[in-house]
Amino acid sequence: MNPDVTILYDTIRWEEKALLEAGKKKNINIQMVDCKKLAIDLEKKPEDYGIVIQRCVSYYRNLHSTAALEGIGVKVINCLNTGVFAGNKLFTHMLLKKFGVPTPDATVAFSKEAALQALDSQGYPKVIKPTVGSWGRLISKLNDRDAAEGIIESRENMYPIYQVHYLEEFVKRPPRDIRAIMIGDKIVAAIYRTSKHWKTNMALGGTAEPCKVTQEMEEMCIKAKHAIQGDIVGVDLMESDEKGLVVHEVNNTTEYKNTVRVCEVDIPSLMLDYALKMEK
């Protein structure tokens, strides 16, 4: 029997298991495909994948498998453009601004000297982020010139992507941020991620509690989702003391384990329902 939905993954997390279980309960024929074992003949008619839900953790594996599948005519959620745009913080920032979505102020510099000059001119503290990365890795707070020199110098000896220095304002806010899960043009659930540390990532020990969705938040998240051409995304927001709500990231293969746990919303089933509608 041909699959209704293919879950393409490279690591089995709670989210992928939940999608499979939701499919069983809804009598949806789900095919699980490990991308690490996948070879796609680009010159032949594609196998029957149904609609593919892209869940690869690896940024590069995610992008290239999506490109290959779309190239031979397979529908993938999210599409290649979403993977490219959401996977790069600079690209996301520029598109959010274009679509009128409030964001933290940011600067990009292409050498150590240019980055330090920008920091001296604009002042500290600032947050330096890799343009490509997740789970809060290699994100540092720069409190002064000495910290900036040491961190930027180390990045100058890394892979070239880390030599693009993305500098973001340190947003004054409550000790939390918001993760909103978007399926289509609707926030299906949202959580506050709270931490004593200035990073609130759940992977770094943040705690979750339900967040009430406001009209302002939903309208902002719809714009953010359309900016990066997404279907199912996680939108991360902060409550700036000066600007109100700002969007600082949009996630392509968003994690939702803690959102399901604290909001008691069946996100995997809603994802599958949406995917099947997209296939028709």
185 lies in a domain? yes
Residue 238 has pLDDT above 90, yes or no: yes
**pLDDT-above-70 percentage for the chain:** 98
* Confidence at residue 280, expressed as pLDDT on a 0 to 100 scale: 64
Spatial CB neighbours of 190, under 8 Å, sequence gap ≥ 6: 178, 179, 180, 181, 210, 211, 212, 213, 217, 259, 263
Domain finish residue from 153, 169, 185 = 169
Average pLDDT over residues 154-172: 93
H or E stretch including 106? strand 106-109
Average pLDDT over residues 78-105: 97
Indicate the pTM of the whole model. Answer: 0.94
**Do 146 and 198 fall within a single domain?**
no
Q: How many CB atoms lie within 10 A of CB 205?
A: 11
Report in angstroms the alpha-carbon separations of 247 from 89, 114, 163, 201.
11, 26, 24, 15
Residue 159 has pLDDT above 90, yes or no: no
* Confidence at residue 203, expressed as pLDDT on a 0 to 100 scale: 60
pLDDT digits (tens, 9 = 90+) for 32-46: 999 999 999 999 988
21 lies in a domain? no
Q: Is the dihedral of CA 280, 6, 14, 9 positive or negative?
A: negative
Domain finish residue from 130, 149, 169 = 169
Residue 14 has pLDDT above 70, yes or no: yes
* Confidence at residue 204, expressed as pLDDT on a 0 to 100 scale: 59
Residue 2 has pLDDT above 80, yes or no: yes
Sequence-ordered strand ranges (E) for 115-156 = 126-129, 140-142
Which pLDDT band holds residue 140 (cuts at 50, 70, 90)? very high
**Do 224 and 207 fall within a single domain?**
yes
Average pLDDT over residues 53-71: 97
70 lies in a domain? no
Which pLDDT band holds residue 137 (cuts at 50, 70, 90)? confident
Which pLDDT band holds residue 88 (cuts at 50, 70, 90)? very high
* Confidence at residue 232, expressed as pLDDT on a 0 to 100 scale: 98
Domain finish residue from 116, 147, 169 = 169
Whichever domain contains 156, its CATH number is: 3.30.1490.20
3-state helix, strand, coil in the chain (%, to 5): 40, 25, 35
**pLDDT-above-90 percentage for the chain:** 88
227 lies in a domain? yes
pLDDT digits (tens, 9 = 90+) for 182-221: 999 999 999 999 987 777 766 656 789 999 999 999 999 9
Indicate the number of domains in the chain: 2
Domain membership of residue 121 as a residue range: 106-169
**Do 177 and 129 fall within a single domain?**
no
* Confidence at residue 201, expressed as pLDDT on a 0 to 100 scale: 65
**Do 176 and 248 fall within a single domain?**
yes
Rounded-to-integer distance, Cα 150 and Cα 125, Å: 15
51 lies in a domain? no
The mean pLDDT of the chain is 94
259 lies in a domain? yes
Average pLDDT over residues 227-246: 97
Residue 242 has pLDDT above 80, yes or no: yes
Whichever domain contains 181, its CATH number is: 3.30.470.20
Rounded-to-integer distance, Cα 242 and Cα 139, Å: 23
* Confidence at residue 138, expressed as pLDDT on a 0 to 100 scale: 84
Quick one: DSSP state of residue 45? P
pLDDT digits (tens, 9 = 90+) for 249-262: 999 999 999 999 99
Q: What angle do CA 81, 89, 123 make, to 5 degrees?
A: 160
Report in angstroms the alpha-carbon separations of 243 from 18, 101, 103.
37, 12, 9
